[in-house]
Structure 1
Amino acid sequence: MKAALRNHHARMQRVLDHIDRHLDDDLDLDTLSGIAAYSKYHFHRQFTATFGLSVHRYIQLARMKRASYQLAYSDAQSVTDVAMDAGYDAPDAFARAFRQRFGQTPSSFRKSPDWEPWLAAFGPFDDARSKLMQKTFTAHDVTVRDVPATRVAIIEHRGDPATLGATIQRFIAWRKTAGLHPKTSPTFNVWRSERRPASPADYSVDLCVGTDQPIAAHGEDVKAGEIPGGRCAVLRVVGNTHNLEPAALFLYRDWLPASGEEARDFPIYCQRLSFFPEVPEHETVADLFLPLK
């Protein structure tokens, strides 16, 4: 039974990966059922039973998620181009669907996103993706290495994680103005609190970019800081890197007690090596660092 279930999950994961890579293509039932190696007459029922969403609904949400990221975090594409990429023949149809789902027009969302309705709308989608995301790691996945100290510029997020998207938007806009592109200046997140503190107001994370340049705030509350060098346990996570909690729990709860190591007095942090939507979600990569004495 376990082998059959693993085989089923592997076939469904192939489908999700194909959808991620081909959001611009015609993702018809014949194609997707063939990738899963299931009869098309049963595939859509199996997909819905596995993920809690129909194939059609899942694809709609995947395209809309990419569109919302393009609107909020990039000004390289016009609203019309984003609508076309999302599979809509006309901007008006895209605008109606976007507003129905998020309560804002695409243009309004680009200027000032309201992230709470956005998070609520994508809850079922994130739940679907989490069904197959990697939740188990082994000691062989962890390496211990010395890392150099890194000077960083920091924009702090303090408060409800539902508003984190707005801080990320400001962080991206600031680093563009400062000329600190992700391909040349590394991106870090330093967690100062749990992912789900008892009070959302206590949520705390630093958004950081590595730089040796003098920091010009350009109107933002930007601080200079440093990620200290030293020994770290490093765990690489590939895919669905928006939720690194399972990996962090493994390092703290499983790997650290068994390793005989002691944690250093600096929070767990990550370096984000690739980003959605520049790469499909299942190809995003992040390294998680647990500082050691």
Structure 2
Amino acid sequence: MKGVSERHQQSIQRVCEYIQQHLDEELSAEQLSEVAACSRFHFHRIFMAFMGLSTTRYIQRVKLRRASFQLAFEQQKIIDIAIEAGFGSSEAFTRAFKSSFLQTPSQFRTQPDWQHWHSVLQLPMIAKEDYIMDVKIVDFPPRNIAYLSHRGSPQRVLDSAAKFIAWRKQTGLSPVASSETYAVPYSDPNTVAPEDFRLDICGTIQQSQIPYNEFGVIAGTLPGGRCAVARHYGSHDHIGDTVYRLYREWLPQSGEELRDFPCYFHWLNFVHEVDESELMTDVYLPLK
């Protein structure tokens, strides 16, 4: 029989996923306690104990997080984003947004301060260790890519992502609709100093060369070869959970040996397109 703590942890995980999947609906305390299969008299204290904030505050953070991505990566009107986030006017949304991020929505759209955003809006998350990870071995064909190297704090990766998106839009050489998007981390953000972190943001292209550009995007190749691949579901902030499980659980039992190239990610969809709970990312582990 599972312990009380583990049962509660799984209950709170279900609630967090339910909130993210029903963010545009009215979410009552009774409804959430039913999802948790927990007494409504104790639900809020249990949620607070595990997550460190109330359900009301958690819902607000999830909505503001989604609004932040929409501001940074989409061209929706601010009033439409405000209404989707549950505010009755752009003025109310602006006040709440500036109170949280010290920038107005317009300022954030023009020049987002992702460093401060991370310090304010990092959502707590309960690790999911009980799901069965499906790992396949595939032959990955080499890809011609255009890529932008991010160097520095992992918390500023979204700045580099915005530059890469701007390059895509300006040139059309790597359009999102017909191009695959990859990320290649050359170091573990948990084990290197922020200034030593490097991650390449890549988009497949047909040609082998691209013109010089102001964004710093250059042409290269994502090498082919045998790979183990597992799918990560949910926030990119916790993709390390799947990476570590590949190294910790799958690799020792597989009998496989690693190739001299970093693991890399294939982003199948994007946070400004779907709710974070619906994100899907394939994690590739290069093998000999």
TM-score, with normalisation over the residues of structure 2? 0.91
Distance in 1 (alpha carbons) for counterparts of 2:286 and 2:131: 18
In the other structure, the counterpart of 1:141 is 134
5 Å-filtered alignment, 1:34-183, equals: 34-75=34-75, 77-123=76-122, 125=123, 127=124, 129=125, 131=126, 133-135=127-129, 141-179=134-172, 180-183=174-177
Residue 14 of structure 1, CA deviation: 2.7
Alpha-carbon distance between aligned partners in 1 of 2:283 and 2:108, rounded to the nearest angstrom: 31
**Equivalent residue number for residue 219 of structure 1:** 214
**Aligned partner letter, 1:153:** A
Deviation readout 1:79-127 (Å, 9 max, x if unpaired):
111111111111111111111111111100000011111000013x2x2
2:6 counterpart of 1:12: no
The separation in 2 between residues aligned to 1:158 and 1:141, in whole angstroms, is 32
Is the counterpart of residue 233 in structure 1 residue 232 in structure 2?
A: no
Q: CA–CA distance in 2 between the matches of 1:244 and 1:34?
A: 29
Overall identity of the aligned pairs, in %: 42
The aligned counterpart of 1:192 is 186
Q: CA deviation at 1:32?
A: 1.8
Q: How much is the aligned-residue C-alpha RMSD, in angstroms?
A: 2.0
Equivalent residue in structure 1 for 2:276, among 277, 281, 287 = 281
**Contact 2:8/2:46 (<8 A) preserved:** no
Match for 2:244 among 225, 246, 249? 249
* Residues 1:194 and 1:91: Cα distance change in structure 2 (over 3 Å): same
Change (3 A) 1:55 1:137: closer
2:254 matched to which residue of 1?
259
For these two proteins, the number of residue pairs brought into alignment is 286
Alpha-carbon separation, structure 2, partners of 1:137 and 1:251: 13
Q: Would you say the 8 A contact 1:151–1:210 is kept in 2?
A: yes
> Any gaps of 5 or more consecutive residues in structure 2?
none
Aligned partners of 1:154 and 1:225 also within 8 Å: yes
Which residue does 2:265 correspond to in 1? Answer: 270
Cα distance in structure 1, aligned partners of 2:10 and 2:101: 32
Question: Does the 8 Å CA contact 1:178/1:216 hold for their aligned counterparts?
Answer: no
Specify the code of the residue in structure 2 equivalent to 1:144. I
What letter is aligned with 1:177? Q
**More off after superposition, 257-266 vs 280-289:** 257-266
Cα distance between partner residues in 1 of 2:106 and 2:167: 20
| Distance apart, 1:7 and its partner CA | 4.0
Tell me how far apart the structure 2 counterparts of residues 55 and 40 of structure 1 sit (CA, whole Å): 13
C-alpha distance in 1 between matches for 2:107 and 2:177: 29
SS class of match (2:236) = coil
Aligned counterparts of 2:225 and 2:55: Cα–Cα separation in 1: 47
Q: 1:228 to 1:203 in 2, by over 3 A?
A: same
Alpha-carbon offset, residue 35 of structure 1: 2.4
Instruction: State the partner residue of 2:26.
Output: 26
Moved more, 152-161 or 216-225: 216-225
Displacement of 1:30 in angstroms is 2.5
Amino acid of the structure 2 residue aligned with 1:269: Y
TM-score where L is the length of structure 1: 0.90
Q: Aligned partners of 2:15 and 2:167: how far apart in 1?
A: 37
Superposed CA deviations along residues 54-88 of structure 1, whole A, max 9, x for unmatched, are 0000001000000000001111x111111111111
* Aligned match of 2:201: 207
Deviations 1:156-175 (A, max 9, x none): 10112222121111112222
Deviation at 1:203, TM superposition (A): 0.4
* 2:238 partner SS: coil
